[in-house]
Structure 1
C-alpha cells in the first residue's frame, strides 16, 4: 500500500472502513456478511452506510488495499482459517461479542433461541421470560448487551429486578445442560439449535454494566437495596460502574474524540448538572472560540428538568461506552484497569 493510500485510511474510523467495504461489495455478498453480525453491529454499520453520501475513489482503494494487505499477511487462505477468523472477530468486536459469532460461523449453526432475543424489543423479551425461573431470567439478562439488558429488567417489578441482578452478579459460567435447556425453552418460539458450550457470562462487572444503563433513580434504588443485603457486593458494583463524573478521568485525546460524536444540544443539557471537574475537562479540550460559545449557550439555556439532564448524560455515556468497546477511547473511571 502506498504512503498516500495509508494516509487516507489512517484518517478513517473502523466503522467507516467497514461501511465502505460493504458498499463496495455486491448486495448478496454484503448481505452474507451482515447475517453473521449482531443487531447492534448491523444497526451501527447500516447507519454508517446510510450516512455516506459521497465516497472518494481514494477511500475505496485505501480500504480495499488495507483489506488485501491484512489477508495477505496470513500464512495462506484456508490454512489455519479458523484461528484467523476467531482472532479477526475478537479484534473487531471484542471477546464477548465475537464468541457468539464464532460458533455460528465456524460450526455453521443457525441463530439460537438466545440470539433471537437480541433482535426483539426489550419489552417483548421481558414478556417472554417474565414467568420463567429467576435463574433462567438471570442467564438471559447476562447474555444480552448491557443497554438492552437494562431495558429488559426495567419492565420487571422492583423485587424481581433486584433478585435478577443479584443472580447476575453471582454468575460466572453456565453449564452446557443449562444453556441447552434454556435454548429448548426459547426455541419453542424461535428457530435455532442447541449446540452449546460452557459459557462465561454474568458476574459483578456485567451487573455494573447493566446498572450503568438504568434510569438514575432506579439505579440508586437498586444500589441501596443491594447494600442492605450485601454491603461488600454493592461496593464492588459501584467501583466498576462508569458514571458521568468519571468523564473527567478520560485522557484529553479521548475527550476530544468523544466531543466529535456528541451533539451540541445534548452536551449543553448534560452539562447543566455536571460536576465542575467535568465541565473544566470539556472546556479545556475545545478551541477557545468553541469553549466560549458552549459556556454562553450553557448560561442562556435556563432551567432544565432533572429527568432531561439525566437522559442527556445517559446518551453521552452510551456514546462513550460504544467508543470504548470499539477501542477508540479508554474510559478512565474508577472501575477501569490501570495501564502501564
Structure 2
C-alpha cells in the first residue's frame, strides 16, 4: 500500500510533458520520430525542449511511464468499446480496484472523449449535405468546424453562393464555442445526429480552419467566397488570402510556373526569403534559376549575415503575393481540391 501511494505521488509530480519526453526517449529515435510527425507543432517544441534537458532517466521511471501508457491505452479501448462502467469492470479485474480508480480518474482529468459531431464526421457527404442544406448558416459553420477539411469542402460547395460566403464568414470568425451552444445545436438536430457532448470550451474554426476548407473547394468557389468576404469583412479576407498559399507551397508549382514567379521577384526579396528554409526548398528554387543567377544568389546569401525573422517573413510574403497575383491573372496554376487537370 505504501509503495502504491509513493508511486502515485511520484506520478503526480511528473508533469505530462516530461512523461511524454521520457516515453519518446524510451521508444528510441526512429519510432519517436514517426510519432512526433503526428503531433501539433507547439507540443513538438515543448517535448523536444524537455528531451534536450533530460540528462538521465532511471529504469524505474521508464517502466512506470510505459506501464502507465499501457494501462491508459487499455482503459481508453474499454471506454470506447462499452463506456466508463464497462471500463471500470474490466479494469477492476485487470488492475485491482485502487489502480483502476486511479486510471479512470486520470482519464477524466484529461477528458478522454470523442469530439462533438462524431457521427457527422463519419457520415456520407451526400447525406450530410442534404441534412445541412435546411440548417441556419451558423449551425452549418459550427458543424463544419468539427469536420475533416476535405469533407467540409465537399459539403460547402453544394450550398448556394450567397450561403457559401455567409458560412465561410462564420467559420472564419469563430474562435471558441461553449458546451451550451454545442448542446443547443445538437438538440435541434438530435433526431439526425447523436454524438458525445463536450463539457469544456474548445477552440474551433478560425482562419486556419477556413483556409483548410477553401484549399479543397477549388479556385472558382474560393474566389467567390473570398470576394464576398472582401465586401463583408475586408480584414478577414486579407488574412485568409495571405494564408491560402504559403512560401513553402511554392514547391508544389510546375517548374515553368516557378520560373515565371522568380522573374517577378526582386533579388533582395529572394535572398531574404530563402533564409532558414529547408535544403529541399532551396535546391528547388536553385533548379529553376540559371547557373549565374544561382551563383549570385549564393554570394548574396553568404554575405548578408543574420536577418530578423520579421524581415524574412515579409520577404516570403512578398513572393507569395506575386504567386497569388499571377494565379489570379491565370498566368500560373495552383492545384486545388476540385479543379480539372491541365491539358497540355
Normalised to the residue count of structure 2, the TM-score between the two structures is 0.47
Q: Which has the higher helix share?
A: 2
Q: Which has the larger radius of gyration?
A: 2
Please give the TM-score of this superposition, normalised by the length of structure 1. Answer: 0.47
